[in-house]
Amino acid sequence: MSTMTVGQQRSGSLDRLTAREMEIARLVRDGRTNRQIARALGLSTKTVEAHLSRIFAKLSIPSRTVLAVLVTTGDRMAA
């Protein structure tokens, strides 16, 4: 039986994200919209949406809110 919490297990799964996906995830955590993320990174909003879809699938999560919590938790654990 694992002694890690669900939050710890999920935050560890952030390692599966590419550098670009992690960059987008952190911008989501910061409260940026898809449009704002696209502008900041020089991407189209459709590309940002595609990245988010892949992030949600990789992490088996349903929403930006859950992503923001995971990134916040993961960043705290890495510090």
Residue 8 has pLDDT above 50, yes or no: no
Does 35 or 8 have the greater pLDDT score? Answer: 35
| Rounded CA separation 7/23 (Å) | 20
> Would you say residue 13 has pLDDT above 80?
yes
Strand residue runs (E) in the chain = none
Which residue, 10, 5, 4, 9, is CA-closest to 70? 10
Which pLDDT tens digit goes with each residue over 14-50? 999 999 999 999 999 999 999 999 999 999 999 999 9
The per-residue DSSP string of 19-67 comes to HHHHHHHHHHHTT--HHHHHHHHT--HHHHHHHHHHHHHHHT---HHHH
Residue 10 clears pLDDT 60, i.e. is over it: no
Domains of the chain as residue ranges with CATH: 6-78 (1.10.10.10)
What pTM, to 2 d.p., does this model score?
Answer: 0.81
> How high does pLDDT run on average in the chain?
87
